[in-house]
């Protein structure tokens, strides 16, 4: 495997090459570290990056390989870690001044699972403060930038994981998703990002935001890469190729982005392109109506904010100057939720879960939009705030269903577009299989952001409407 | 606490105060904006208007 191939390969192909000894872990780590040194600062993708530590671990993998072969299916694969997940000996800051001196004493369980599969933790990536308060310019670290348009937001809160992955600073990353924080950067950066079923991945060693909703999720440039990475901590994920698409049923939710909200024409076009791709793959398409998006999002908001406020209220009162302004403002909403309101919200969430299951009962997966708009300028807070609720991700943190963001192409300005597939509980493999049908038809994963030494992109026709 | 004192308390108490917040919201937070977001979401889950339960919520605590 030549050096350019290392960067061009998706995570699954790279893992295969490492597993058969076609390339060494040290070569891979060195090549990606070189890209971090070239582009990491400009994209503000990392909070911390311990290159000597990464190289030492890579050499250790190579020693192990020579004596006993690959440790596991991710042998030697560098995986960047959102800076809310503990990696032993590394800082876990959550991009907050409150935690700027915090160093993890042990691995989070998902990190231990990654290491057991042979992966190498590859730095700690930028996040919105406590996975909620960004993009902010008043934190100890600047916000990550979108490689497709560095003036634009890469999505959040797993911002650095999305930005660095799109720029090929690493082949895979972990994010966390409480209201869409894996799927938003995946959509904004043209990537695949999976929020697993609630409870499927361990939250041990993860800075909490809303414990009822928090999920660790894998991010990669392709469906196969996302599946390979996620299989290290989500049992059964590697069986996604066994799930058929032909002859199966896909629910389509158009009301959320056409009636409840008015999505941008390019995102609406992305939805139709994905639906058409699934139809061409042999799936039967069925329009479904799960009820108003605002009812799902509003109920999820109450639970998320009440739980976040419960965690951070003491620090908010005693050390408010240590928070970014956006974090304080967002979490403050939780101060206005009484115990009775919270209980009402929790009960209503159960009603909505039942409603969603009834609406999607005949479907193997459901197609929705992820974001209703492409990425906006990172310093345009007014537009950012206006677009903040224009998304269909938060409902599934509340219902608990697995959901995956899949790229579909680009708008006329070159900004990534994407959709979301929602599976039944435990149906991550179905999300991946139907996502692969979209990927195979639309080939958005073949494109590369400009100006980052990634070569010429394949030229795809922009999606307009 | 007589009836007029009770009424005055109810009138003077802000919504944020009433929700048994033992810690004040720090300066810099637009409390009205935060409250408005919560109120908008609450319409989906609770049959009650906001101001009704506030008074009944506050008074027992203040009279302790």
Per DSSP, helices labelled H in A293-365 are: 293-318, 325-332, 339-359
Distance from the B33 Cα atom to the nearest Cα atom in chain A, whole angstroms: 8
pLDDT for B46 equals 80
Nearest to B38 among A316, A329, A337 (CB): A337
DSSP result, A36-103: HHHHHHHHT-EEE--HHHHHHHHHHHHHHHHHH--SSTTTT-EEEEETTB--TTSB--TT-GGGTT-B
> Which among A287, A227, A275, A262 is positioned nearest to A420, based on CA atoms?
A275
Longest Cα separation, chain A: 61
State whether B53 and A338 contact (CB < 8 Å): yes
Instruction: Report pLDDT for A424.
Output: 98
A317 and B26 in contact by Cβ < 8 A? yes
Partner residue facing B16 (CB), from A297, A336, A348: A336
Q: What is the pLDDT of residue B25?
A: 66
For residue B22, pLDDT over 50 is answered with no
Contact with chain A for residue B42, Cβ under 8 A: yes
Q: How far apart are CA A241 and CA A238, in angstroms?
A: 8
| Strand order from edge to edge, sheet including A192-195 | A46-48, A120-125, A78-82, A172-177, A215-220, A192-195, A403-410, A416-422, A365-369, A249-252, A284-287
pLDDT at site A464: 56
Asked if A305 has any chain B CB less than 8 Å from its own CB, the reply is: yes
pLDDT of B51 reads 40
DSSP β-bridge partners for residue A48: A124
In this predicted structure, what is the pLDDT of residue B29? 83
The pLDDT value given to residue B30: 85
Q: What is the C-alpha to C-alpha distance for residues A406 and A371, in angstroms, rounded to an integer? A: 11
Q: How many degrees, rounded to 5, is the angle at CA A40 between CA A37 and CA A42?
A: 115
Residue of A nearest to B48 (CA): A341
- Asked if residues A345 and A302 have their Cβ atoms less than 8 Å apart, the reply is yes
pLDDT in tens, A126-181: 999 999 988 999 999 999 999 999 999 999 999 999 999 999 999 999 999 999 99
pTM of the model: 0.92
Average predicted confidence (pLDDT) for chain B: 57
Whether B38 sits inside 8 A of A333 (CB atoms) is yes
Residue A294 sits at the chain B interface (C-beta within 8 Å): yes
Chain A CB within 8 Å of residue B40 CB: yes
Q: How far is A335 from chain B (nearest CA, A)?
A: 7
Which pLDDT score is estimated for A392?
98
For helices A25-43 and A51-68, the axis angle rounded to 10 degrees is: 160
pLDDT in the model for residue A388:
86
B49 interface with A at CB cutoff 8 Å: no
Band of the pLDDT at B7, cuts 50, 70, 90?
very low
pLDDT at position A253 is 98
> Rounded to whole angstroms, how far apart are CA atoms A267 and A375?
11
What radius of gyration, in Å, describes the C-alpha atoms of chain A? 20
The answer to whether residue B17 scores a pLDDT higher than 50 is: no
Tell me what pLDDT residue B60 has: 34
pLDDT under 70: residue ranges of chain A: 1-3, 456-465
Q: How far is A343 from chain B (nearest CA, A)?
A: 9
Supply the pLDDT for residue A463: 64
R_g of chain B, CA atoms, integer Å: 13
pLDDT tens digit sequence for A12-38? 999 999 999 999 999 999 999 999 999
Chain A residues whose beta carbon lies within 8 Å of the beta carbon of residue B49 = none
Q: How many helices (H) and strands (E) does chain A have?
A: 16, 11
Within 8 A by CB and 6+ apart from B53, the residues are A338, A340
Nearest Cα residue to A332 out of B40, B48, B32: B32
- Whether the predicted pLDDT of B10 surpasses 50: no
What is the distance in angstroms between the Cα of B18 and the nearest Cα belonging to chain A? 9
Return the sign of the alpha-carbon dihedral for residues A376, A397, A10, A165. Answer: positive
Query: A343 touching B, CB under 8 A?
Result: no
């Amino acid at each position: 495997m030549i050096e350019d191939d290392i960067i061009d390969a998706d995570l699954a192909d790279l893992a295969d090459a490492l597993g058969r000894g076609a390339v060494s872990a040290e070569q891979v780590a060195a090549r990606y570290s070189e890209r971090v040194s070239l582009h990491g600062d400009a994209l503000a993708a990392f909070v911390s990056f311990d290159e000597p530590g990464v190289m030492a671990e890579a050499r250790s993998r190579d020693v192990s390989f020579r004596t006993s072969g690959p440790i596991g299916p991710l042998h030697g694969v560098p995986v960047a870690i959102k800076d809310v997940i503990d990696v032993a000996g590394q800082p876990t800051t959550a991009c907050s001044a409150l935690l700027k001196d915090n160093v993890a004493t042990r691995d989070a369980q998902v990190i231990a699972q990654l290491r057991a599969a042979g992966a190498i933790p590859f730095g700690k990536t930028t996040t919105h403060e406590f996975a909620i308060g960004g993009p902010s310019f008043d934190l100890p670290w600047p916000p990550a930038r979108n490689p497709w348009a560095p003036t634009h937001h890469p999505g959040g809160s797993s911002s650095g994981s999305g930005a660095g992955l799109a720029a090929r600073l690493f082949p895979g990353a972990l994010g966390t998703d409480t209201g869409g924080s894996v799927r938003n950067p995946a959509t904004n950066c043209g990537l695949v990002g999976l929020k697993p079923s609630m409870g499927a991945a361990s939250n041990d060693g993860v800075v909490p935001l809303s414990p009822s909703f928090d999920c660790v999720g894998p991010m990669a440039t392709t469906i196969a890469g996302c599946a390979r990475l996620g299989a290290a901590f989500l049992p059964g994920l590697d069986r996604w190729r066994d799930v058929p698409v032909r002859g199966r049923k896909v629910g389509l939710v158009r009301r959320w982005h056409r009636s409840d909200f008015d999505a941008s024409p390019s995102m609406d076009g992305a939805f139709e392109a994905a639906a058409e791709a699934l139809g061409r793959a042999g799936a039967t398409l069925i329009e479904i109506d799960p009820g108003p998006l605002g009812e799902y999002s509003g109920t999820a908001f109450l639970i998320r904010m009440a739980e976040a406020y419960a965690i951070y209220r003491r620090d908010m009162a005693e050390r408010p100057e240590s928070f970014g302004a956006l974090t304080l403002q967002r979490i403050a909403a939780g101060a206005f939720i009484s115990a009775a309101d919270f209980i009402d919200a929790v009960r209503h969430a159960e009603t909505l879960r039942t409603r969603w299951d009834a609406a999607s009962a005949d479907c193997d997966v459901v197609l929705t939009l992820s974001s209703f708009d492409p990425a906006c300028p990172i310093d345009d807070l007014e537009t950012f705030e206006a677009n903040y609720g224009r998304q269909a991700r938060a409902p599934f943190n509340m219902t608990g269903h697995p959901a995956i963001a899949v790229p579909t192409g680009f708008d006329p300005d070159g900004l990534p577009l994407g959709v979301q597939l929602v599976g039944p509980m435990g149906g991550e493999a179905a999300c991946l299989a139907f996502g692969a049908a979209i990927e195979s038809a639309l080939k958005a994963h073949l494109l590369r952001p400009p100006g980052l030494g990634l070569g010429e992109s394949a030229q795809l026709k922009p999606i307009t409407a | 606490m007589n009836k007029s004192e009770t009424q005055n308390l109810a009138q003077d108490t802000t919504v944020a105060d009433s929700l048994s917040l033992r810690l004040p919201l720090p300066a810099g937070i637009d409390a009205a904006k935060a409250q408005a977001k919560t109120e908008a979401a609450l319409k989906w889950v609770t049959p009650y208007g906001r101001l009704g339960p506030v008074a009944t919520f506050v008074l027992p605590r203040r009279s302790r």
